[in-house]
A and B are shown apart, each in its own frame.
Chain A
Amino acid sequence: MPRAPSACPGFSRKNRRKLGRAYARCYVWEEQLGPARSPTRTILQPARIVFLGDHRRETHSLRMTATNGQTTLSIRDLHVSVEDTQILRGVTLDVPAGEVHALMGPNGSGKSTLANTLMGHPAYEVTAGQVHFKGQDVLELETDERARLGLFLAFQYPAEIPGVRVASFLRLALNARREAEISVMEFRRLLMEKMQMLRMDPKFASRYLNEGFSGGEKKRNEILQLAVLEPELAILDETDSGLDIDALRIVADGVNRLRGSDLGVLVITHYQRLLNYIEPDRVHVLIDGRVVESGGKEVAERLEAEGYERYGAAAASEDA
């Protein structure tokens, strides 16, 4: 399904190549402001420029502004089917910059479909609706372009890549979003710092990516990538599944440390458990491919007490 390579025609891959050095110069400049695709668009976002400053308080106050006005991720009436089966039937959802939103729903409600669609998995076909991220039409972008724009998906089932070490993979991934390559030493320092934060054994860095990892190690590795790559919006797809309580705490702790002015989070979960550790600003309930309720964290608490049955028979039949 070939598509236009980029939402900014001036910076499609072909044009980029043509522009050569001129583009490179733009790109350096753009890089200083964050990984936005179009320089023009970046300078139109005052909040983002201030984020570069060192003054924590200042950015924080601006975050409030952003929360009120700026929407980082905007999903409108999204319809998605997989192998001709309709899964999402009109999802509408906003995750403003820097907020943490929870998406809850029973199995089969379409939670993972939404996560995979947002990241551009080829098996998921968007039949209607729009997704915008930082003002850009995400559906026009390839998976890797979405990633470089600042989207991140912590996978429920991360793929195993034998023979590729965690550290070498992460360095390449980090360099993919930087104009100037990070030095090996500097990367090493960064990686060790983040691994320490997640209480990971340094030996972990030289293991093969996800190969032979326990369920908990896989999830922790996803959060490590989140910490190193510093995206602007992270989707956590059932990150709590398969974690014991200690691992859950460490992972939640990691997310909470990363949480702040820059990082928006969409936490996808079946259970309320994780939300005890990562407190959401908003909670959305997804049933049968539609968001049926949105509210504060009390929505999650009520779900914990009453289950999904209250949303109708369709959801009542299942449970993990």
Chain B
Amino acid sequence: MAVKDIEQVGLDTYKFGFHDDIQPVYTSPKGLSEDVVREISRQKDEPAWMLDFRLEALRQFEQKSMPTWGADLSRIDFDDIHYYIRPQDRQARSWDDVPDDIKSTFDKLGIPEAERKFLAGVGAQYDSEVVYHSIKEDLEEQGVIFLDMDSGLREHEEIVREYFGTVIPNGDNKFAALNSAVWSGGSFVYVPEGVRVDIPLQAYFRINAENMGQFERTLIIVEPGAYVHYVEGCTAPVYATDSLHSAVVEIIVKEGGRCRYTTIQNWSTDVFNLVTKRAVAYRDATMEWVDGNLGSKVTMKYPAVYLMEPGAHGEVLSIAFAGEDQHQDAGAKMVHAAPDTSSLITSKSISRKGGRTAYRGYVQVMPDAERCRSNVECDALLIDDRSRSDTYPYMDIEESDVAIQHEATVSKVSDQQLFYLMSRGLTQEQAMAMVVSGFIEPIVKELPMEYAVEMNRLIELQMEGSIG
């Protein structure tokens, strides 16, 4: 009758895989060994300290066991992965090989031609040199450095050496260790004291970047009183050559500085996305993570803020969207290491077609960190009865003079809501999309305009399906 079986509302994303029959010119052999790590470092002509950092990380990786919590990672075969593909060899695909479905998704999202090729892995070079150059000149005038991590290491070795691996040491966890051993690409951002960067820095502005690599490494340093908004990823689907994406992002925000880091992750649904993101915020500094996880098979990601000095503030806003065979295990971590620090975590998750989401959060207040405030709100929306959502809110409070709040809700799209919206003439897909976009609205409104628009269009696309 009027409201169809919920199962029929197709929210399918990527039924298609993506394969690459053309052999790149240089690819490391499959599997991980000291030789592979040495070869990566040699190819990049890195200083000796970086090679040592990598080799130590490799030892850590080999010693550490897999996490025993979170999503099922048993299907990752570390011996079946290429750990390094030279970026100039990556552009071996032809536009003709890109499946029509993907092309039409780009169409519907209104992605510009040049960008599409980049996203589909046809060209590693995003063809917007003109745009990029003018931005780059402005940035250079202000003393801002915005490079891919490899160039950053070559051109600003002293800065990189001072901060690299200080927020996330090479033995932090198994996947951070893996990244530390084989990292390639990512961004290096340095904002000098007092400089406000007005436009969001977007990873894909960088030309010929290795930023879509599997083991990217990003380092952002915000000097006192400076501000930057960094955006990585995009709402359009991204196709990976290997099924493991393990990035590391380290951010340092100094006194009175502010950094916002926005991620929209939309990997194809065969990818294990295991990312370590951590920031330290000093006196009166603000760090905000805005994190959207739409794609991938499994995501495990818990952006963290260490609030080191009084007045520091940390925020995590996250959206997770899990469909068939997807498991989004996401959350946040806030460590209050000083008095008068505050944090806010807002998490929204949507599960459909048997998909699974989890909020996993950790709030720690150290002894003597008086007058801390922390507010955690996590809301889950279930689209059907087969889907699942879990909440694991860990709190470790060692100081009594604090204000900590935690609120969790789980709701379902009700027949009553759908009936109401449809009684005004919206189709079932439109009605469903409207409920879902309303649910994530508090976070979407924090996204840069073009991302917000794309995000809503993407939700609508995902609601289109087998009806009719």
Contact = CB atoms under 8 A, between A and B. Distances in A.
A162 B381 CA distance: 12
B419 A159 contact: yes
Nearest to B4: A2
Interface residues of B, number: 29
Interface string B81-116: 000000000000000000000000000000000000
Contacts of B134: none
A255 to B, nearest CB: 18
Contacts of A164: 434-435, 437-438, 441
Contacts of B151: none
A159 to B, nearest CB: 4
B427 interface: yes
Nearest to B429: A144
B423 A1 contact: no
A307 interface: no
Contact of A176 (B420, B425, B440): B425
Interface stretch (A79-87, A92-100, A115-123, A296-304): A115-123
Interface stretch (B193-201, B287-295, B409-417): B409-417
A159 B422 contact: no
Contacts of A121: 2, 419
Given A159-B414, A159-B419, A14 B468 contact: yes
A2 B467 CA distance: 11
Nearest to B419: A121
A176 B422 CA distance: 10
A169 B2 contact: no
A225 interface: yes
A122 B5 CA distance: 10
B439 to A, nearest CB: 6
Interface stretch (A147-155, A270-278, A279-287): A147-155
A163 B428 CA distance: 18
Residue from A17, A148, A159 whose CB has the most chain B CB atoms within 10 Å: A159
Interface in A26-55: none
B452 interface: no
B208 interface: no
A142 B2 contact: yes
Contacts of B135: none
Contacts of B4: 2
B437 A144 contact: no
Contacts of A143: 2-3, 419, 422-423
A163 B437 contact: yes
A128 to B, nearest CB: 16
B448 to A, nearest CB: 19
A144 B1 contact: no
A122 B2 contact: yes
A293 to B, nearest CB: 29
Interface in B413-464: 414-417, 419-428, 430-431, 434-435, 437-442
B438 A161 contact: yes
Contacts of A120: 1-2, 419, 422-423
Contacts of B416: 159
Contacts of A208: 438
Contacts of B419: 119-122, 143, 159
A205 to B, nearest CB: 15
B9 to A, nearest CB: 13
Contact of A161 (B427, B428, B435, B468): B435
Given A120-B2, A161-B421, A169-B434, A13 B426 contact: no
Given A161-B421, A164-B434, A209-B438, 11 more contacts: A13-B468, A120-B2, A120-B422, A122-B415, A144-B426, A144-B428, A152-B423, A152-B424, A160-B417, A176-B426, A229-B424
9 closest Cβ pairs, A-B complex: A163-B438, A163-B441, A143-B2, A164-B438, A176-B425, A147-B425, A159-B420, A173-B424, A120-B2
19 contacts: A3-B1, A119-B419, A120-B1, A121-B2, A122-B415, A142-B428, A143-B3, A144-B425, A153-B423, A159-B417, A161-B435, A161-B438, A164-B434, A164-B438, A169-B424, A173-B424, A176-B425, A229-B424, A229-B425
